[in-house]
């Protein structure tokens, strides 16, 4: 495993995995959308509006999964000081922000016809909004510090501290009275959702997870290349400086 | 057509735009990085690893 954590080996691995991941995620998402729109039944209470669930729930899972991935990368960055862990962490933040944004907006679009409101300040919605703001904070932190190693350490600490929000999001519906429904898939005692809706949901979740993994590999590859570009630019500038600066006279030339 | 079709369509459209936009940004960034890297010579440690 650590062999692939070498940036050069990672680039070779990514060249194989990215096309495979893109094809697999496209196929799974196509199947998932077909199941969600043409096979899954309408809900007896919500009607057709339940179809928003097939994009909202996987986006919510990925919003949390992405922060979990970043937490592991943050540990790799702080404990082993591995540059690839830094790159993986930085690459994940914009993707996590995108999935959290999708979760919030689709939740709002689902809430309006079902709850009669776009937004309420209840525990689940507010904790997910906090997650979105933390993603934006991390992106801003990476952009505000020039030195990648220093930015990586600060971002890793913020990520580890922010991971405390994950159990709050998960259990917010159990700990507090909320408008949001309790867990119906990942719960003690098994899913309460009917298989005719569960399978399309799981297919969409697998497709979106494959898409996230593929995009994360691509974004991490970009980070590795950005650092390589930075190193080449520094070497080129140093070589340019040494050509421009007159060489001091050596003793034997004097 | 469901009475709430607009909400369903908007959900999938926004998801496609947000995630598709992120994917497009990554692809464009990759192309720009490759172009910039091609303009600079490889560092000695990269040459050694080839």
ipTM: 0.89
Mapped onto helix, strand or coil, the DSSP state of residue A99 is helix
Burial class (CB within 10 angstroms; exposed 0-12, middle 13-18, buried 19+) of A26: middle
Taking the C-alpha atoms of residue A23 and residue A21, their distance in angstroms, rounded to an integer, is 6
| Residue-level pLDDT at A217 | 97
CB contact under 8 A, A98 and B37: no
A-chain CB neighbours of B8 within 8 Å are 48-49, 51-52
Q: Which residues of chain B have pLDDT under 70?
A: 1-2, 47-50
Instruction: Determine the pLDDT at residue A251.
Output: 47
Could you read off the pLDDT of A31-86 as tens digits, one per residue?
Answer: 999 999 999 998 888 888 999 999 999 999 999 999 999 999 999 889 888 888 88
A159 CB burial (10 A radius; 0-12, 13-18, 19+): buried
**pLDDT of A252 over the 50 cut:** no
A180 vs A78, residue with greater confidence:
A78
Give exposure, A172-205, as e/b (b: 16+ Cβ within 10 Å): bbeeeebebeeeeeeeeeeeeeeeebebbbbbbb
Mean pLDDT of A111-117: 90
The answer to whether residue A200 scores a pLDDT higher than 70 is yes
User: pLDDT value at position A128?
Assistant: 96
Mutate to test the interface with A, among B1, B5, B12 (most CBs of A within 10 A): B12
Average pLDDT along chain A: 88
| pLDDT at A253 > cutoff 60 | no
Q: Which of A225, A230, A240 to mutate to test the interface with B (most CBs of B within 10 A)?
A: A225
Range with the poorest average pLDDT among A156-165, A167-176, A201-210: A167-176
Task: Report whether pLDDT(A239) > 50.
Answer: yes
Q: Between chain A and chain B, how many beta carbons pairs sit less than 8 Å apart?
A: 90
Lowest mean pLDDT among A98-107, A117-126, A137-146, A230-239: A230-239
Would the pLDDT of A246 be above 70? Answer: no
A30, pLDDT greater than 80: yes
End-to-end alpha-carbon separation of chain B, Å? 59
What is A100-112 written as a DSSP string? HHHHHHHHHHHHH
* pLDDT the model gives residue B4: 84
3-state SS string for A116-180: CCCCCCCHHHHHHHHHHHHHHHHHHHHHHCCCHHHHHHHHHHHHHHHCCHHHHHHHHHHHCCCCC
Asked if A235's CB is within 8 angstroms of B22's CB, the reply is: no
B34 to chain A: nearest residue by CA?
Answer: A225
Q: What angle separates helix A83-115 from helix B5-38, to the nearest 10 degrees?
A: 160
Interface of A with B in 219-238 (CB under 8 A): 219, 221-222, 225-226, 228-229, 231-233, 235-236
* Res A245: pLDDT: 56
Whether the pLDDT of residue A244 is over 70: the answer is no
Helix/strand/coil for A41: coil
Helix/strand/coil for B47: helix
Contact status of B28 with chain A (Cβ, < 8 Å): no
Within 8 A of A96 by CB-CB distance, chain B residues are none
Q: Does B22 touch chain A (CB under 8 A)?
A: yes
Whether residue A60 contacts residue A101, with contact meaning beta carbons closer than 8 Å, is answered with no
Give the pLDDT of residue B49.
65
pLDDT at A67: 96
């Amino acid at each position: 495993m650590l062999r692939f954590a070498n940036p050069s080996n990672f680039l070779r691995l990514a060249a194989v995995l990215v096309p495979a991941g893109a094809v697999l995620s496209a196929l799974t998402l196509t199947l998932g959308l077909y199941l969600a729109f043409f096979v899954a039944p309408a809900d007896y209470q919500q009607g057709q509006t339940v179809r928003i669930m097939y994009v909202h729930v996987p986006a919510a899972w990925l919003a949390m999964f992405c922060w979990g991935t970043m937490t592991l990368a943050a540990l790799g960055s702080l404990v082993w000081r591995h540059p690839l862990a830094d790159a993986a962490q930085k690459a994940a933040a914009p993707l996590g922000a995108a999935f959290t944004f999708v979760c919030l907006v689709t939740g709002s679009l689902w809430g309006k016809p079902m709850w009669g409101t776009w937004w309420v300040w209840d525990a689940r919605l507010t904790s997910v909004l906090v997650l979105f703001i933390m993603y934006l904070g991390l992106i801003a932190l990476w952009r505000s510090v020039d030195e990648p190693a220093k930015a990586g350490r600060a971002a890793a600490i913020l990520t580890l501290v922010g991971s405390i929000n994950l159990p709050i999001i998960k259990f917010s519906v159990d700990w507090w009275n909320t408008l949001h429904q309790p867990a119906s898939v990942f719960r003690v005692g098994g899913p309460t959702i009917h298989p005719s809706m569960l399978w399309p949901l799981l297919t969409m979740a697998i497709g979106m997870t494959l898409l996230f993994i593929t995009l994360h590999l691509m974004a991490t590859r970009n980070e590795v290349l950005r650092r390589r570009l930075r190193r080449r630019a520094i070497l080129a500038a140093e070589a340019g400086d040494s050509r421009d600066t007159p060489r001091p006279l050596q003793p034997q030339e004097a | 057509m469901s009475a709430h079709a607009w909400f369903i369509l908007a959900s999938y459209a926004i998801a496609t735009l947000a995630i598709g936009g992120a994917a497009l940004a990554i692809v464009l960034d990759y192309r720009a990085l490759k172009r910039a890297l091609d303009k600079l010579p490889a560092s000695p440690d990269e040459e050694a690893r080839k």
